[in-house]
Every structure is written in structure tokens, then in C-alpha cells.
Amino acid sequence: MIKPLTQGDRATILRLLRDTDMFTEAEIAVAEEQLDIVLNQPGQKDYNIVVIMDDDVVVHDDNGRVAGYLSWGPTPLTEGTYDMYWMAVAPDKQGRGYGKRLVGWLEERVRSEKGRLVVIETSSLPKYNPTREFYLGLGYKETARIPDFYKPGDARVIYTKYLNQE
């Protein structure tokens, strides 16, 4: 089950981000800021966050276990372009389709809003090889690479997928 973020999910998501061992404390602080914007500014239109609940938990409510989360939003000053800002799946739940379901949900949501393009960015560091392969496997294409973007030796890799082009 995929559902909107609630206050009860906040601590679990922050723990999940740390447990993945993929994000620095500075990156987690940015994710935390985005969580707080979504939770505390309900009228804002820049960010949206959903969580995917663990399939192994029978009762899905605020006490159910969050298996992963995804944040996205419309890209400012564009027509129909959306950014996927963050996605993480608990380490013990990776490889079970949660990430694929989250991205599929996002694509359907963007299509329903007449969106045309999803943009995802990630790091070029070797530990992100599985992440980059994951996006390629979902039909995203690497459309840009900016060398030394995050720091020397760490490029910004941008993936895109056009939707509603049947």
C-alpha cells in the first residue's frame, strides 16, 4: 500500500535513510527539511511525499512498518516536468519490488496530472551503481552527466523518462 506521508512516518523515514548507508548526514538533513515542509506546510505545492508500507505487515495503519518512501514535485518554471527528489527503501526490503512500485506509482501520478517528463538525479560514485542500473532497468535514460558536480570525482547523473507518448 502506498499512502501519503504522516507525522508518524517521519522518524521511521529518517532511520531508514541512515540505515541504507547511502546518504551523508548533510543529505539526510535536506531530506528531513523536505519532510518537515510537507508535514508542516500543507498548502505548499513544491513537494509531495508518499510511503510504501511493508507487505509483511497485516494491518496497514500508522503502526504499520514503512518499507520505503518517495518524494517528488513539479519542476518550477516548466510545463509538465516533475522531479523525483528522494527515494529510499529499507535495506532489508530492497530487491523485493518496493522501489519499482514507488516509481511506477509516481509515473501514474504524473500521467494523471498530464505530466510529460520525470527527471531523476543521482551520484556517479561506485556505491550508486545499483541505483543507476535500477533506473535504466525502469526505462530511464541517462541524459546528462556533470563532472565534479557534488565534489571532485563525483558527477551529477541525470536520468529522464518521457510519459504520455503513446
Rounded Cα gap, residues 67 and 72, in angstroms: 17
Going by C-alpha positions, the residue among 90, 101, 48 that lies closest to residue 68 is 90
CATH class of the domain whose range is 2-119: alpha beta
Are the C-beta atoms of residues 5 and 39 closer than 8 Å to each other?
yes
The β-bridge relationship of strands 117-123 and 154-162 is antiparallel
Rounded Cα gap, residues 134 and 89, in angstroms: 13
Listed range (55-64, 136-145, 155-164) with the worst mean pLDDT:
55-64
Tell me what the pLDDT averaged over the chain comes to: 93
Question: Average pLDDT of 43-47?
Answer: 92
Query: Residue 139 CA to chain centroid, in angstroms?
Result: 16
